[in-house]
């Protein structure tokens, strides 16, 4: 998606630890015009697929998912919460996730009321790095007995393992910008689509 790649090239900063800072338009501050184009592009890439729920994870996925839902007939957006405690009880689906990017273990939790066996679920998130957050959402979807349509990702760090691991599990992933390599010295290179 050229508009997105241009924004990354002009505004993103490569930080220590292979972190891409896109706070000016995707994370701390969000560009709603760009989000609308992102939502339209996800709709184009998943055209013809029946989607009844968009599932994301707090925090940065929520805004993108909400704007995107407007291009999927205003389907409900469900967001999974992250809790450090592992012993969650009650009427929820829960799966443990280890984040290498964040260096923490957490549980990804969603209410059983909002994810049902008859649902067709599209996952949406801002980044795909090692992929454990998205994998957690895929497991929750499976545990609910729902159908996983695929995942829409804004920025995939193609040099990390998440994308290939999830595609090997037959999850359809559409990433709007795939970074092949990045460094403060060499800058950012995208994978050709
Ligand atoms: P992991 O397996 O190492 O945890 O990687 P994963 O792909 O699941 O990404 C974990 C979290 O780290 C995600 O946040 C993702 O947005 C964030 N992240 C990964 N790489 C980068 C990066 O280069 N830049 C930025 N800005 N974020 C990155 P999340 O679980 O969706 O939570 P939140 O950050 O939205 O609260």
N residues, the chain: 193
Residue 75 token pair = 């389907």
* SS3 at position 82: strand
3 state DSSP class of 188: strand
C-alpha span between 130 and 160 (Å, rounded): 6
SS3 139: helix
Q: To which residue do tokens 């957690």 refer?
A: 136
Ligand 1 atom closest to Cα of residue 127: 16
User: Which residue has its alpha carbon closest to ligand 1 atom 12?
Assistant: 101
pLDDT at 100: 80
Ligand 1 centroid, distance to 11 Cα (angstroms): 18
**What is the C-alpha separation between 120 and 50, in angstroms, rounded?**
7
The residues facing 81 across adjacent strands are 109
Ligand 1 is surrounded, with C-beta below 6 A, by: 19-20, 22, 27, 57-61, 99-102, 125-133, 157, 162
Residue 124, classed as helix, strand or coil, is: strand
Alpha carbon nearest to ligand 1 atom 13, residue: 127
Buried b (16+ CB within 10 A) or exposed e, 50-70: ebbbbbbbeebbbbbbbbbbe
Nearest-atom number in ligand 1 for the CA of 21 is 26
Reading the chain (193 residues) residue by residue, the pLDDT tens digits are 999 999 999 999 999 989 999 999 999 999 999 999 999 999 999 999 999 999 999 999 999 999 999 999 999 999 999 986 555 567 999 999 988 877 889 999 999 999 999 999 999 999 999 999 999 999 999 999 999 999 999 999 999 999 999 999 999 999 999 999 999 989 999 998 7
Contact present, 36 and 42 (Cβ < 8 Å): no
CA of 127 to the centre of ligand 1 (A): 6
Distance, CA 83 to ligand 1 centroid (Å)?
15
The sign of the CA dihedral 14, 20, 23, 28 is negative
Start-to-end Cα distance in the chain? 9
Q: What is the pLDDT of residue 103?
A: 84
Distance separating alpha carbons of residues 128 and 137, to the nearest angstrom: 12
Minimum CA distance residue for ligand 1 atom 15: 127
Rounded (10°) angle between helices 32-45 and 60-69 = 60
Give 101 Cα–ligand 1 centroid separation in angstroms.
6
List C-alpha distances in Å: 94 to 44, 97, 106. Answer: 31, 10, 10
**CA 134 to centroid of ligand 1, rounded, Å:** 10
């Amino acid at each position: 998606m050229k508009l997105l790649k241009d924004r990354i090239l002009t505004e993103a900063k490569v930080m220590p630890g292979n972190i891409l800072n896109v706070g000016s338009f995707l994370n701390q501050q969000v560009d709603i015009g760009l989000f609308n184009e992102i939502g339209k592009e996800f709709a184009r890439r998943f055209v013809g697929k029946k989607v009844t729920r968009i599932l994301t994870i707090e925090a940065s996925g929520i805004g993108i998912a909400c704007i995107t839902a407007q291009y999927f007939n205003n389907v409900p957006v469900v967001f999974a919460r992250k809790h450090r405690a592992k012993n969650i009880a009650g009427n929820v689906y829960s799966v443990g996730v280890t984040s290498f990017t964040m260096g923490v273990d957490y549980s990804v939790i969603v209410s059983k009321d909002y994810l049902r066996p008859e649902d067709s679920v599209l996952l949406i998130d801002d980044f795909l790095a090692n992929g454990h957050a998205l994998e957690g959402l895929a497991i929750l979807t499976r545990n609910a007995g729902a159908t996983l349509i695929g995942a829409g990702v804004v920025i995939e760090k193609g040099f990390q393992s998440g994308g290939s691991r999830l595609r090997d599990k037959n999850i359809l992933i559409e990433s709007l910008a795939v970074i092949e390599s990045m460094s403060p010295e060499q800058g950012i290179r995208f994978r050709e689509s």
